[in-house]
Amino acid sequence: MDAPLLRFERVSKRYPAPARGAAQPAALAGLDLEIARGELLTLLGPSGSGKTTTLMLLAGFETPDSGRILLEGRDIARLPAHKRGIGVVFQSYALFPHMTVAENVGFPLEARNVPRGERAARVARALDMVRLPEYGDRRPAQLSGGQQQRVALARAMVFEPPIVLLDEPLGALDKALREEMQHEIRVLHQRLGLTMMYVTHDQSEALTLSDRIAVLAGGALRQVAAPRDLYDEPADAFVAGFVGENNSLPARVVSMADGVARCALEGIGTMPARAVGPLAAGGPCVLMVRPERLVLDAPEGLPAQLAEALFQGDHVRLRLVLPGGAEVIAKRPVGEAALPAPGAAVTLGWAAGDARAFRAEGPAR
């Protein structure tokens, strides 16, 4: 196998505590992560998870307390940012308002003393890549938000960096434009073979764009996997709850057999789920099942009452209440067989392979 383009080896970073004597958790704790050449890897996590710190360390805007960052086999962890040759796209675009589009895109080349003739050719090529070949003479204020984002992408790519970093680049755009730009970035990545590290807290964006997703929480890496694998086979309860929607029910393991846990929900009933991680009979667990995997009127299942059915375009969202008041969500495609009316009693079930039983744990930092 080819050596990875980028490797983080036991990289840690801790920021000063805001108050004297206060304990400050690590922003990043011993990160080990690899990115292959030509891969689009997304860092996904909640606020404070360490994803932006990881990007800042790679870009050279922060220095790790320990560990190595190897780019093409060279440790760049303590190399100044301007000597790393990495392209960066920020959410704010960071375009110079007094410069034209062409001058903005050409700025990294001018800073590298690229001759004027070659500079013009590479700027034209970069603008063509992002489908803005006729916009070189305009100012940023004359462009839409999506066009400004394309200019920022062209500027990050024009000097042909080994990797392009994108820090929440679509966060300021409306939904329709954000989806359009997701497609643009994906097409650029595939057509040009770019290596990209993408930072977002938007799960849908990560699932749409990525070759692989690295989920971070509390400064620790929880799982790295392809989008479908991450969704279907989460490594722990945090990943299962953070990536996509999941119903989460506290339970207790009654028995274990062939990787399947029989889980008791207090005062409701028992249901099977595939066991993930260390579980023992008699111990607590968290039973999780995706809304689209729930079956109404199952031959064996849990008693529930349909509280609400909401039409949401391509599916109907059902809110169901279990004995004791716990709520679960189910989803059904529009046009499926007629649904029971709100207030109706149903039996809620699922196949053992469609649910997961995880070790109970506290919330991630």
**CA–CA dist 51, 54 (Å, integer):** 5
Q: Are residues 279 and 331 in the same domain?
A: yes
From 206, 237, 268, give the residue that closes a domain: 237
Q: Is the dihedral of CA 160, 162, 168, 170 positive or negative?
A: positive
Cα Rg of the chain, angstroms: 24
304, pLDDT greater than 70: yes
Map residue 338 onto helix, strand or coil. Answer: coil
Clarify whether residues 147 and 50 are in a common domain: yes
Q: How many domains does the chain have?
A: 2
Q: Is the residue at 365 inside a domain?
A: no
Of 307, 301, 306, residue with least CA distance to 350? 301
Q: What percent of the chain has pLDDT over 70?
A: 96
- What does the pLDDT look like over 272-300, one tens digit per residue? 999 998 888 899 999 999 999 999 888 88
Tell me, rounded to whole angstroms, the distance of Cα 23 from its chain centroid.
Answer: 28
Indicate if the alpha-carbon torsion angle 68, 73, 78, 80 is positive or negative. negative
pLDDT beyond 70 at 362? no
Q: Report the distance separating Cα 317 and Cα 48, nearest Å.
A: 31
Residue that the structure tokens 């039983």 belong to: 357
pLDDT-wise least confident of 18-22, 157-161, 214-218:
18-22
Question: How far is residue 71's CA from residue 208's CA, in Å, rounded to a whole number?
Answer: 26
Whether residues 31 and 112 share a domain: the answer is: yes
Residue 14 lies inside a defined structural domain of this protein: yes
Which range (91-95, 236-240, 345-349) has the least confidence? 91-95
Same structural domain, 233 and 251: no
Residues 109 and 88 in one domain: yes
pLDDT number for residue 160: 86
Q: 233 is written with which tokens?
A: 């086979």
Query: CA 57, CA 11: separation in Å to the nearest integer?
Result: 9
Answer whether residue 189 is part of any domain: yes
Which CATH number do you get for residue 277?
2.40.50
Bridge-based pairing of strands 74-75 and 164-167 is unpaired
Count the helices and strands in the chain (H runs, E runs).
8, 20
> 75 Cβ partners below 8 Å, 6+ apart?
68, 69
pTM beyond 0.75: the answer is yes
pLDDT tens, residue by residue, 39-97: 999 999 998 899 999 999 999 999 999 999 999 999 999 999 989 989 998 877 788 99
Q: Which residues of 261-297 are buried (b: 16+ CB within 10 A; e: fewer)?
A: bbbbbeebbebbbbbbeebeeeeebbbbbbbebbbbe
- State how beta strands 315-321 and 302-311 pair: antiparallel
CB of 178 closer than 8 Å to CB of 205: yes
Q: Count how many residues are written for the chain.
A: 365
Q: Is 57 found in the same domain as 190?
A: yes
Mean pLDDT score of the chain, rounded to an integer? 90
Give the other-Cβ count within 10 Å of 256's Cβ.
14
Residue 306's domain comprises: 245-337+346-359
176 and 315 part of one domain: no
End-of-domain residue from the set 237, 253, 285 = 237
Q: Which residues contact 173 (CB under 8 A, 6 or more apart)?
A: 145, 146, 149, 181
Under the banding of pLDDT at 50, 70 and 90, the label for residue 364 is very low
Query: Do both 302 and 207 map to the same domain?
Result: no
- Indicate which CATH number applies to the domain containing 80: 3.40.50.300
Specify the residue for token string 């990875």. Answer: 4
In the listed set 192, 209, 237, which residue is the last one of a domain according to the structure?
A: 237
303 token code pair: 């008693």
Note the pLDDT of residue 1: 54
Same domain, 226 and 252: no
pLDDT, tens only, 143-187: 988 888 889 989 998 988 999 999 988 877 778 878 888 888 888
Lowest mean pLDDT segment, chosen from 179-193, 215-229, 267-281: 179-193
**Are 76 and 182 within one domain?**
yes
Closest CA to 347 of 294, 291, 289: 294
pLDDT at 356: 96
Q: In terms of domains, do 308 and 326 share one?
A: yes
Q: Give the SS3 label for residue 327.
A: strand
What is the CA angle 220-26-18, rounded to 5? Answer: 145
364 falls within a domain? no
- Tell me if 153 is assigned to some domain: yes
Give the neighbor-by-neighbor strand order of the sheet with 28-35.
28-35, 6-13, 66-71, 74-75
Q: Are residues 42 and 114 in the same domain?
A: yes
